[in-house]
Amino acid sequence: MRDLGAGLRYLGQGQRWVLTRGRWFGFGLLPALITLVLYAAVLTALGFYADDIAAWATPFADDWGSVGRMLTRGAFAVMLWLAVLMLAVVTFAAVALLIGDPFYEKLSEKVEESEGGLPEGAVEQPLWRELWTSLTDSLYVLSRTLVFTVPLFALGFIPVAGQTVIPVLGFCVSGFFLALELTSVAMQRRGIPVRERLRMMRGRKALALGFGVPLALAFLVPLLAVPLMPGAVAGATLLVRDLTGTGTAADGDADAGAPGNRYGAQGSQAPPRPAAPHVQQPPPAQPGPYAQPGPYAQPPGGPYAQPPGGPYAQPPGPYPQQPPR
């Protein structure tokens, strides 16, 4: 539950970061707006042709009664549209990041600088190399998403569960992979490959779900994805700083970035904490005239040995003694 709340707070902190810096908020709007227009066109076309696709995909229903055929193909068309919508939610961020890679890269850098500095050993790549890496990573994430989306699509035909449990699982899957996609900008800066990113996110599923699921639900609202996209990139950058140990956890966890995280060694450039004031230690005691080297050690000559000259011998003073007459 703590990680779940931390993920949600990172999402809110990212939105607050861009809203208090209007220049960077506007900086990240254009790629998201272009992506929204493309996706709206695809989903609109799918809505017009969903019935034809359903008829093509269900030839076995041609000989059924009109009611059974209509219900089957209607359910197929709805499930198809919802499945494509879930994919659109996940891939929206990927396409927007691909279109606006230079914009979001710069935005993510500014977030890290405001939080203490870029990580040590940040990987610098040419623009074409960054675009190619983003494309291949996005295709990998999409393939992993389809592994879950296709079975969920089939399970959606189960009565009751297909209309209640399956959509919830679908949004959890969409939120997880959406968080994975949005963290790619800051992860690439650290040179972390996509398979390792997936392993890290699986290790803290609640953190990824707390960040990604509310964002996936918000992306369903028409036009809301555009203004949320810059803050989503900023929040994902803060999440990566927690995940790799280069920042402070949103919930104040002491174990964020704990030793054992192989990427925590690339710590931020934040100024170190002031050292504790130096405490003066008392000087060691000097051995006195009767200091013993051990608890039972005796002075030379035994415990009753007399000093030279007898017990009444006087030490030489400033006025020498006259010899007796």
CA atoms within 13 A on the CB side of 293: 4
Helical spans, DSSP H, in the chain: 2-19, 22-27, 29-57, 66-99, 101-114, 127-155, 165-182, 184-189, 194-203, 205-219, 225-243
Calpha distance 170→33 (Å, rounded):
25
pLDDT of residue 259: 36
| Residue 29, amino acid | L
DSSP 244: T
Mean pLDDT for back-to-back runs of 10 residues, the chain (325 residues): 88 93 84 88 84 84 81 83 79 85 88 84 71 85 86 81 84 91 90 92 92 90 86 94 72 41 42 44 52 50 54 53 52
Burial class (CB in 10 A: 0-12, 13-18, 19+), 46: middle
Nearest to 104 by CA among 183, 177, 34: 183
Q: Parse the chain into domains and list their residue ranges.
A: 2-243
Nearest to 225 by CA among 85, 111, 112, 106: 85
DSSP 59: G
Q: Yes or no: say if 185 and 230 are a contact pair by the CB < 8 Å rule.
A: no
34: its two tokens: 């272009």
Q: Yes or no: say if 43 and 88 are a contact pair by the CB < 8 Å rule.
A: yes
DSSP 296: T
Nearest to 226 by CA among 22, 71, 31: 31
- Please work out, in degrees rounded to the nearest 5, the angle formed at the alpha carbon of residue 168 by the alpha carbons of 163 and 169: 110
pLDDT of residue 214: 93
Residue 256: CB atoms within 10 A of its CB come to 23
pLDDT of residue 307: 56
Q: What is the largest CA-CA distance in the chain?
A: 153
pLDDT of residue 172: 92
